[in-house]
Structure 1
């Protein structure tokens, strides 16, 4: 039996067909690797302006609710990760011009306040907070972790 090569084999897994292989992980871990969800959610993920962020977050939340209706926890969690990533990336751009936090010597670059990106971040943060308080999502998360680790 071939041993699972995480880096290579992970890219070919359909997590909708094999939800038992999905690990919730920390934060946004795996957000750009878990298919088919990445391909379904990523086209909606934008934060350039608050207006764009608002449309983006609402579209991702529609997907979150659609996954809930389909009893698809992995999809729900992936939508949560994209919402969280909308917040963290917009905050990064709000704090650092060009979104680059470190220089080549791994020293933190000076802070630069970009109010537009901060407003985009706040939009995603509000939706992320709603998900973190969603009792159904939290119960499904606990159930998935108990069942699959």
Structure 2
């Protein structure tokens, strides 16, 4: 648990306050640390607009918030964890294109000092990866940087173009 944090496509959020959901990342986090994490993930405006601020209840499974907002709250939780490796398991699934791109940009900014292992079926954001392992039936079918894969593999180019219109 000290080595890895996980952000998956549907992070579990509890029927308690925003602060308590974020504090799950580190139980002794101060209110200032929680507010700093909220600011880093781009939710400061939203949270400050809520009548109870960070004490606003999430409602069941975070239903009060959009998919992108729920992912950002879960990301704020991860920022409180000291783990050096973050596993991203389809974190943008179900998000509209604009929200997806915005979340990806935030992920790269706030996780720049950590090792990120990203499991995805989509190729959005691959341009920023140091190395890509393209798996097929449990075997590495392609390996390299985004640029190398674009130059070397027609299939990768086609899949990338399908994701990018």
TM-score normalized by structure 1? Answer: 0.28
More strand as a share of residues: 2
Identify, as 1 or 2, the structure richer in helix. Answer: 1
